[in-house]
Amino acid sequence: MFSELQNKVTVIANEKCMIEQSAIDQFMTAAALPGVTRAVGLPDLHPGKTPVGVVIETKNIIYPHLIGNDIGCGMGLFETNCRVKKYKQDRFFKKLNDIQSLRDIPAENPYSEKSPIPDLGTIGGGNHFAEFQTVEKIYDDEAFQTLNIDRDQVLLLVHSGSRSYGDQIFSDFSDPNGISTGSERAEKYLAAHDDALTWAQRNRQIVAHKLTEFLGYATDLKMLIDCCHNFMERSCERYVHRKGAVSALVGSVIIPGSRGSLSYIVEPTVDTAVSLFSLSHGAGRKWIRSLCKGRLKDKYKRNEIHETKLKSITVCHDTDLLYEEAPEAYKGIEHIIGVLVQHGLCKVIATLRPLLTFKA
């Protein structure tokens, strides 16, 4: 079966990019679904409930299960109104360590519509996070200036999505056999999907406001970049499913590493057709969660799991999650970015260094 797919399948990688056979198998199975016209595996491709790090284009049919339950999950980058020179690591850590999760900080819905997310203003578990960062290095001054980023401010990167709202949509519409486009069911899914995108972005904004206000800074935040990586894009009669992939048609995007590595601000090149106009969403997992603690528990002394080689620190009260999300569990972000640059898909504008990562 797989040999018949070669003309419509592309995997973007190189010899430094480790992609597990299980991820390739999942990807090829998705590519073989009825109605798939093209399928692209990006360098951060890894296995999940469905393959992550993929772009699947279809005609006349859509597959909600390829998008998954966290519709609109993505990255929001904000300025914090905290000057780098005034940033106090100990103060931020102590303040944030006093709360178990963002549910401990009350939030009101500032929008006129009723929120479909009961826990609005939370980031969720797993690989979601809120991370305070600083500009590490600028590679393209002109492109950096167009983003209007104040390099003297601490930045905040929020990784979250539509939370329980996406779960409900997934439960209502997921069907491994797909949904015919033009049908009433397809239109209802697409309308709910688009609403989830809106609320996922709003959720990231509220998370950023909650955190900065809790830490004592002004909440008139400036959103610098917002890009989602679990969503469907319509183009004429084609439907582009992105699972763990960002659009290359929205301008500059941010591609994070693990909590112990740099994040990259990149600018897509003019022609990204080979990747179905998409870029990677992050480093991609190297180890499944169940293996992490066993492989790492003897490597770290007490509390060292909270610290990284970049001198950043993580606030998280779930020790198992800390091991599951350890930097070692992820591929090297520098290799992922290297593949994208090698294939002419983007150029690096700047890198950001983690200061403090908050999880849960």
286: left (phi over 0), alpha (psi -120 to 50) or beta: alpha
Question: What whole-number distance in Å separates Cα of residue 102 and Cα of residue 117?
Answer: 14
281: annotated active-site residue: yes
Residue 57 · residue 124 · CB < 8 Å? no
Over the Cα atoms of the chain, what is R_g?
20
128: left (phi over 0), alpha (psi -120 to 50) or beta: beta
In the chain, what are the helix, strand and coil shares in percent, each to the nearest 5?
A: 35, 30, 40
Q: How many CB atoms lie within 10 A of CB 138?
A: 16
Reported as type and span, the H/E element at residue 22 is helix 21-31
Residue 161 · residue 145 · CB < 8 Å? no
Q: Residue 137 has which token pair? A: 């290095």
> From the candidates 128, 281, 306, 335, which is the catalytic residue?
281
Question: What whole-number distance in Å separates Cα of residue 277 and Cα of residue 291?
Answer: 34
| The amino acid at 184 | E
Query: In 3-state terms, what secondary structure has residue 291?
Result: helix
Tell me the catalytic residues: 281
